């Protein structure tokens, strides 16, 4: 086993354990945790001790052992205190209690069903079409083009805002990030101190001085806006007939306002930054890899005769498009860390892990492990087509597995397919600052903090823009 064994403690181990705290805290807050943990796995093997009571794994077996559906509830690896937040009510993503989680997930299920997704698709197209027109306009008027890291947040937050609150943030229309969204994005650094404080006692004690005022202020702004938007949404509940995320939850009248706020806040964050990050990565990697871009252009531009034909269904079987998305999810996973769970006292990848020890499988490392992937740090979408390079594709699980797997997976795939296919159908891509390096310049604080990536979207002659005339 790696850094230290967990089964026996000696004085030496305690001292080295304290060192592990410092090592962990330093790398966690540096923004380069993904690279540090990949390095120690390469050096010490598939299991390493990253804090006194915590192990990181990187094998497909550990993924199955920790996250897949347990044989019975007593064998479940439950979420750890990493997920606890100092403010607000626990939501479907943060609650640790399995009974509470089941109830919350069931109450949201109808908003994520296949039928709901069909009803929601028109909303997705509406904002994507506006977005297509907006990036084309900005590409003509701004010499530096469009910062795709910012612009893709406009469209994903507008879609999720509409599906959660019945109204968007008007970000695509105004080509501006709503200040509520900026607050969420800006608070990432401070937000990542909370999980750290659960692992490092000193940080917990310093929390009030370090981050509390900043987090508390952001939380208040966030809560005030969520509350106002929620009040509007509840007032419209009788008029809204479509299956959005909150319709059934509001109508069931089982949830307090605070619980609804927690749910809405979680859905907005979980559903937008993630899809935006993958779409950014896909556009960036395509612009850097002309052969892959040409293959995708050929596929999209010969399959469809008009942009109206691009739908969630018609794009579901396009090999290149789906391969580009899978490869972007693997190479630049939106959820790149290991998701901590508490061992019930069970085997993980052949090691018996005593009850109470925290374990995770590190997503980034697994998705870049040469044991599973040929040329792991390269963008090679063809690995997802047919036999590819014989990679172990199960080593990429960007949406996680089991009972706590992503609730929005189908919506996420639909959104990413439609956004990418419509961009490729309408525009040729031009990276403005070719020296920018998305992978080297991004830092990880829960979500990725990405550098600006400026791109121009130059219209193809035959792409009549079928977009609503509301800009």
Q: Would strands 78-79 and 341-342 be described as parallel, antiparallel, or unpaired?
A: antiparallel
Place of tokens 């508490």: 342
Nearest to 92 by CA among 253, 241, 337, 271: 271
Write out the two tokens for 376. 């792991």
Return the sign of the alpha-carbon dihedral for residues 217, 221, 224, 227.
Answer: negative
Considering only CA atoms, give the Rg of the chain. 22
- C-alpha distances in angstroms, 383 versus 57, 332, 441, 461? 24, 16, 25, 32
Is residue 275 close enough to count as binding ligand HEM by CB under 6 A? yes
Contact status, residue 188 vs residue 443, Cβ threshold 8 Å:
no
A 10 A CB-CB count for 203 gives 20
Q: Which is nearer to ligand HEM, 163 or 293 (CB)?
A: 163
CB of 445 to ligand HEM, least distance (A): 15
CA distance 293 to 348: 41
Using rule CB under 6 A, residue 334 touches ligand HEM? yes
Q: Are 161 and 168 in contact (CB under 8 A)?
A: yes
CA distances from 35 to 10, 228, 271, 331, 365 (A): 30, 40, 25, 13, 8
Q: Assign residue 253 a region: left if phi > 0, alpha if psi is -120 to 50, beta otherwise? A: left
3-state secondary structure of 436: coil
Binding mask 82-121 for ligand HEM (x = CB under 6 A): ----------xx-----------x----------------
Among 133, 139, 274, 343, binds ligand HEM (CB under 6 A): 274
**In the bound complex, what is the minimum distance in angstroms from residue 117's beta carbon to ligand HEM?**
11
When the beta carbons of 341 and 456 are compared against ligand HEM, the nearer one is 341
Query: Please, what is the minimum distance in Å from the beta carbon of residue 407 to ligand HEM?
Result: 4
* Choices 16-24, 216-224, 231-239, 264-272 (CB under 6 A): range interacting with ligand HEM: 264-272
Is residue 278 involved in binding ligand HEM (CB under 6 A)?
yes
Among 1, 102, 38, 45, which residue's Cα sits nearest to residue 357? 1
Which of 24, 190, 304, 399 is in the footprint of ligand HEM by CB under 6 A? 399
**DSSP annotation of 446:** S
Nearer Cβ to ligand HEM (38/244): 244
Q: Looking at 250, 335, 418, 453, which residue binds ligand HEM (CB under 6 A)?
A: 335
Q: How far apart are CA 367 and CA 57, in angstroms?
A: 12
Which among 30-38, 247-255, 267-275, 461-469 is the span making contact with ligand HEM, rule CB under 6 A?
Answer: 267-275
Minimum distance from CB of 18 to ligand HEM (Å)?
A: 28
- The answer to whether the annotation marks 149 as part of a ligand binding site is no
Residue with smaller CB distance to ligand HEM, 318 or 325: 325
Out of 25, 40, 270, 432, name the contact with ligand HEM by CB under 6 A.
270
Residue 271 interacts with ligand HEM (CB under 6 A)? yes
**Distance in Å from the first CA to the final CA of the chain:** 59
CB of 106 to ligand HEM, least distance (A): 10
State yes or no: residue 47 binds ligand HEM (CB under 6 A).
no
Residue 412 in contact with ligand HEM, rule: CB under 6 A: yes
Q: Which is nearer to ligand HEM, 41 or 404 (CB)?
A: 404
| Contact residues: ligand HEM, CB under 6 A | 92-93, 105, 160, 267, 270-271, 274-275, 278, 334-335, 339, 398-400, 404, 406-408, 411-412
Residues annotated within a binding site for heme: 406
């Amino acid at each position: 086993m790696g850094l230290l064994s967990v089964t026996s403690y000696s004085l030496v181990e305690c001292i080295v354990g304290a060192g592990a705290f410092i090592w962990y805290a330093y790398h966690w807050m540096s923004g380069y945790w993904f690279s540090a943990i990949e390095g120690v796995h390469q050096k010490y093997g598939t299991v390493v001790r990253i804090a006194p009571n915590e192990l990181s794994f990187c094998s497909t077996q550990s993924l199955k052992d920790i996250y897949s559906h347990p044989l019975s509830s007593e064998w479940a690896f439950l979420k750890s205190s990493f997920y606890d937040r100092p403010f607000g009510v626990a939501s479907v993503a943060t609650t640790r209690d399995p009974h509470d989680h089941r109830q919350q997930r069931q109450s949201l299920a109808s908003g994520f069903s296949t039928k709901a997704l069909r009803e929601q698709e028109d909303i997705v197209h509406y904002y994507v079409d506006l977005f297509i027109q907006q990036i084309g306009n900005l590409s003509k008027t701004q010499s530096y083009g469009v910062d795709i890291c910012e612009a893709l947040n406009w469209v994903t937050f507008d879609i999720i805002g509409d599906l959660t609150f019945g109204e968007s943030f008007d970000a695509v229309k105004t080509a501006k990030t709503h200040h509520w969204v900026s607050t969420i994005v800006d608070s990432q650094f401070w937000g990542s101190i909370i999980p750290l404080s659960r692992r490092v006692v000193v940080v917990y004690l310093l929390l009030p001085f370090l981050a509390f005022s900043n987090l508390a202020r952001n939380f208040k702004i966030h809560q005030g806006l969520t509350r106002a938007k929620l009040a509007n949404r509840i007032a419209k509940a009788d008029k809204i007939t479509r299956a959005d995320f909150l319709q059934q939850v509001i109508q069931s009248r089982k949830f307090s306002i605070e619980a609804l706020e927690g749910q809405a806040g979680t859905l907005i964050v979980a559903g937008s930054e993630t899809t935006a990050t993958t779409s950014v990565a896909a556009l960036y990697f395509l612009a850097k890899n002309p052969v892959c871009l040409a293959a995708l252009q050929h596929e999209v531009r010969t399959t469809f005769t008009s942009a109206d034909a691009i739908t969630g269904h018609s794009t579901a079987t396009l090999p290149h498009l789906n391969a580009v998305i899978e490869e972007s999810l693997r190479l630049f996973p939106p959820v790149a860390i290991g998701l901590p769970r508490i061992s019930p006292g069970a085997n993980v990848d052949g090691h018996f892990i005593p009850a109470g020890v925290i374990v995770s499988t590190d997503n980034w490392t697994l998705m870049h492990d040469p044991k599973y992937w040929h040329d792991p740090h390269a963008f090679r979408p063809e690995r997802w087509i047919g036999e590819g390079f014989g990679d172990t594709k199960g080593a990429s699980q960007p949406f996680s597995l089991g009972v706590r797997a992503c609730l929005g997976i189908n919506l996420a795939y639909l959104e990413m397919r439609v956004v990418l296919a419509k961009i490729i159908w309408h525009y040729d891509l031009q990276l403005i600052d070719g020296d920018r390096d998305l992978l080297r310049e991004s830092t990880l604080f829960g979500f990725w903090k990405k550098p600006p990536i400026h791109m121009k979207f130059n219209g193809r002659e035959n792409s009549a823009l079928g977009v609503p005339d509301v800009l």
